[in-house]
């Protein structure tokens, strides 16, 4: 298919969309702050993006009860592997190129949490037993070390709805008010990071 107006430079993109302001740039931090931890604890769904040495991309959905992704410290996450189709695309990619991207979703929220880092495939029992569901221990865990970019809450247009969760906006607003290191403008659902880089 042929197009006549194709952008080929960052300057062209910025001329149309503009440049991000300092508040937007401040969202990029290199660790998990309190609001990020709270978001992960409430998330029942994460997308894991990976690629192999040939550049072939894969995005794998992972879901379980809210908080199924284990936070080991402010720079380390663990994602359990549940029985599936056994393609193991993410694992195969990580063995070749360990860089991964994660997007966490919370039903009823108009934001996502985006995390980039380096992944390892581990089988340590002490970790796997922590992520058991209904006494079923995962065979593997994907451990992600956050590296050069963690983008705090990133607005999306429209909300991910799930009536069964009963998750309502006022609960999140109350949580944000309890956490002292973030401010949130309700009119745009734009949460801005203020934590210093570590």
What share of the chain has pLDDT > 90, as a percent?
Answer: 56
132: helix, strand or coil: coil
User: pLDDT, tens digit, for every residue of 56-72?
Assistant: 999 999 999 999 999 99
Residue 167 confidence (pLDDT): 44
Q: What is the pLDDT of residue 3?
A: 96
The mean pLDDT of the chain is 81
Which pLDDT tens digit goes with each residue over 117-138?
999 999 999 999 999 998 899 9
pLDDT score of 27 more than 60: yes
172-198 core/surface letters (b: 16 or more CB in 10 A; e: else): beebbeeeeebebeeeebbbbbebeee
- Here the tokens at position 46 are 């994460």
DSSP state at residue 195: P
Distance between CA 43 and CA 146 in Å, rounded?
18
The second-level CATH assignment, the architecture, of 28-192 is Roll (2.30)
pLDDT, tens digit, for every residue of 99-108? Answer: 999 999 998 8
- Alpha carbon distance 79, 44 (integer Å): 12
| 136-185 tens-digit pLDDT | 999 999 999 998 666 555 666 555 554 334 444 555 666 666 664 444 44
pLDDT of residue 7: 94
Largest CA distance in the chain: 58
SS3 for 26-82 is: CCEECCCCHHHHHHHHCCCEEEEEEECCCCCEEEEEEECCCCCCEEEECCEEEEEEC
pTM above 0.85? no
pLDDT at 175 (0 to 100)? 65
Q: What are the residue ranges spanned by the domains of the chain?
A: 28-192
Is 50 exceeded by the pLDDT of residue 195?
Answer: no
Confidence of residue 74 (pLDDT cuts 50, 70, 90): very high
**In the predicted model, what is the mean pLDDT of residues 35-45?**
92
What per-residue confidence (pLDDT) applies to 191?
41
Backbone angles phi, psi at 120, to 5 degrees: -135, 150
> Average of pLDDT values for 35-59?
94
Tokens 């908080």 locate to 67
How many angstroms separate the CA atoms of 50 and 67, rounded?
22
């Amino acid at each position: 298919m042929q197009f006549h107006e194709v952008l080929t430079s960052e300057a062209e993109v910025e001329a149309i969309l503009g440049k991000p302001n300092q508040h937007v740039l401040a969202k990029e931090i290199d660790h998990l702050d309190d609001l990020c931890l709270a978001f992960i604890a409430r998330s029942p769904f994460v997308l894991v993006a990976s690629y192999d040495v040939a550049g072939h991309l894969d995005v794998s959905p992972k879901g379980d009860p809210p908080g199924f992704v284990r936070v080991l410290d402010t720079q380390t996450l663990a994602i359990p592997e549940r029985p599936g189709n056994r393609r193991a695309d993410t694992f195969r990619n990580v063995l070749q190129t360990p860089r991964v991207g994660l997007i966490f979703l919370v039903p009823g929220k108009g934001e996502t949490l985006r995390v980039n880092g380096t992944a390892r495939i581990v089988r340590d029992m002490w970790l796997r037993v922590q992520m058991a569901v209904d006494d079923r221990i995962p065979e593997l865990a994907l451990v992600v070390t956050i590296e050069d970019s963690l983008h705090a809450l990133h607005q999306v247009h429209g909300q991910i709805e799930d009536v069964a969760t009963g998750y309502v906006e006022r609960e999140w607003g109350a949580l944000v008010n309890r956490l002292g290191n973030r401010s949130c403008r309700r009119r745009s659902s734009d949460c801005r990071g203020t934590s210093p880089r570590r």
